[in-house]
């Protein structure tokens, strides 16, 4: 009997430890934009799902929320500082603390989504200041001016990377003349390794972590490359040019690559707006090379993300800064399946076999059935709260609740099936 009781206690403790180490981060699950949530509505009432609460007290930003133990974390801008907010599950601010220096150039509002593991919050400011914060008290555990101290460079919109966590490490991409990617000890902030430089600026991508060919690799994009770094030692495993259209008229724009790559079965996909287009590569069997497979100029996603559902990639494209269409292309070939006008471009996630789209100009939200033959809109509603500005934050679903952010506002909608 005593043995059974001790076994039960050990199992309970182990379960608690594992639960505490669950990571909440940018575009779950595992940065695919495919939520593991189930038991959700397959259509919404005409007026949209019920709003449970809203908070209009946040600093302006484009980050989505992440989740700890009964706490919501999100970033916002206050003056020249980026701020981490902790909210109760009913949307009330519990505390806020300064992350670091904000980007003060064009579009300064905060954009990095916090990464949560256990009771610690890891995040990044618009100038590349990293911070590890106690998720209960808001106290800074460590901070590190990663871009400044590694001679990192910036595009015209600063830094927008959401930190990637892996075992005892977190990763960040300063770019510039000294290094492309660095690994830090998540407990102390000490640098573990620095990769070689690609002599390239970082873009605004939050990378992914995959295992292939016996290697764990960080797959990321810079302004001119699609590349992978060995997570164990910082070796650059492969790099492939990923550049803008050769059209001279497009050269007046700096690249705006913001889209987290997709990966499946040794194939990796990247896309970027401003006619950069998409590109698929196959990673070599040794993990140290990548072979070009196809390019696509239909789905040049601006910054709304893309999802892979049943062999098709869904997202929206860039026609100009105010306009874009919703698109579907084939994963294996890049073939255009359809392109549909619906308001304008925006962000997309998926859950339980449905797409959730959030267009960026007027806040229209759509529930779409994935279908490689047509744009199949099931339901829609409109977000009306928040200060003026684009609807650039990506949606997220947690415990049957759809969270939508617009500038200073965060809203929670009940989408559980009844």
- The list of the chain residues with pLDDT below 50 reads 1-20, 250-251
Give the whole-angstrom CA distance, residue 278 versus residue 281.
Answer: 10
pLDDT value of residue 249:
52
In a domain, 30, yes or no: no
Could you tell me the CA-to-CA distances from 167 to 23, 114, 186, 274 in Å, in that order? 11, 17, 8, 36
SS3 of the chain: helix, strand, coil, percent, to 5 = 5, 45, 50
pLDDT value of residue 253:
58
In a domain, 6, yes or no: no
In a domain, 315, yes or no: yes
Give the whole-angstrom CA distance, residue 346 versus residue 306.
Answer: 10
Give the whole-angstrom CA distance, residue 187 versus residue 208.
Answer: 21
Give the whole-angstrom CA distance, residue 60 versus residue 102.
Answer: 12
In a domain, 22, yes or no: no
- The domain of 166 spans 35-414
CATH code of the domain covering residue 410: 2.130.10.10
In a domain, 193, yes or no: yes
Could you tell me the CA-to-CA distances from 163 to 129, 306, 401 in Å, in that order? 11, 19, 24
Give the whole-angstrom CA distance, residue 363 versus residue 357.
Answer: 10
pLDDT value of residue 78:
97
In a domain, 297, yes or no: yes
- SS3 for 240? strand
- SS3 for 249? helix
pLDDT value of residue 27:
97
pTM to 2 decimal places:
0.93
In a domain, 249, yes or no: yes
Q: How many Cα atoms within 13 Å fall on the side-chain side of residue 82?
A: 31
In a domain, 107, yes or no: yes
Q: What are phi and psi of 194, to 5 degrees?
A: -125, 135
Q: Is 233 exposed, middle or buried (0-12, 13-18, 19+ CB in 10 A)?
A: exposed
Domain count, the chain: 1
Q: Please, which residues have CB within 8 angstroms of residue 222's CB and are 6 or more apart in sequence?
A: 173, 175, 180, 198, 200, 201, 202, 203
């Amino acid at each position: 009997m005593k043995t059974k009781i001790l076994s039960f206690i050990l199992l309970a403790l182990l379960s608690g430890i594992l639960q505490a180490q669950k990571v909440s981060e940018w575009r779950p699950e595992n940065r695919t934009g495919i939520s593991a949530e189930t038991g959700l509505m397959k259509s919404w009432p005409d007026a949209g799902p019920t709003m449970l609460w809203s908070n209009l007290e946040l600093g302006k930003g484009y980050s989505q929320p992440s989740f700890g133990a009964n706490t919501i974390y999100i970033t916002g801008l206050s003056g020249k500082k980026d701020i981490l907010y902790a909210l109760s599950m009913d949307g009330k601010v519990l505390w806020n603390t300064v992350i670091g220096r904000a980007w003060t150039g064009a579009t300064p509002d905060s954009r990095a989504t916090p990464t949560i593991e256990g009771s610690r919050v890891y995040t990044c400011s618009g100038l590349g200041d990293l911070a590890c914060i106690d998720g209960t008290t808001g106290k800074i555990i460590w901070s590190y001016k990663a871009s400044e101290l590694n001679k990192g460079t910036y595009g015209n919109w600063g830094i927008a990377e959401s930190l990637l966590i892996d075992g005892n490490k977190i990763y960040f991409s300063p770019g510039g003349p000294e290094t492309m990617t660095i690994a830090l000890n998540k407990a102390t902030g000490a640098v573990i390794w620095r990769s070689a430089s690609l002599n390239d600026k970082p873009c605004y991508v939050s990378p992914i972590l995959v295992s292939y060919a016996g290697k764990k690799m960080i797959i990321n994009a810079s302004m001119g490359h699609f590349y992978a770094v060995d997570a164990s030692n910082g070796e650059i495993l492969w790099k492939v040019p990923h550049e803008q259209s050769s059209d001279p008229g497009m050269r007046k724009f700096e690249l705006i690559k913001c889209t987290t790559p997709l990966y499946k079965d040794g194939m990796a996909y990247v896309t970027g707006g401003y006619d950069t287009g998409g590109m698929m590569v196959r990673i070599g069997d040794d993990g140290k090379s990548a072979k070009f497979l196809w390019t696509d100029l239909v789905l040049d996603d601006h910054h709304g993300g893309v999802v892979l559902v049943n062999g098709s990639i869904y997202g929206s494209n860039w026609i100009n800064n105010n306009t874009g269409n919703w698109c579907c292309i084939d994963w294996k070939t890049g073939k255009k399946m359809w392109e549909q006008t619906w308001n304008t471009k925006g962000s997309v996630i998926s859950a339980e076999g449905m797409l959730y789209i959030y267009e960026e100009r007027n806040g229209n939200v759509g529930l779409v059935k994935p279908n490689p033959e047509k744009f199949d809109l099931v339901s829609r509603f409109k977000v009306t709260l928040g200060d003026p500005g684009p609807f650039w934050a990506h949606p997220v679903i947690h415990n049957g609740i759809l969270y939508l952010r617009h500038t200073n506002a965060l809203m929670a909608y009940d989408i559980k099936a009844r």
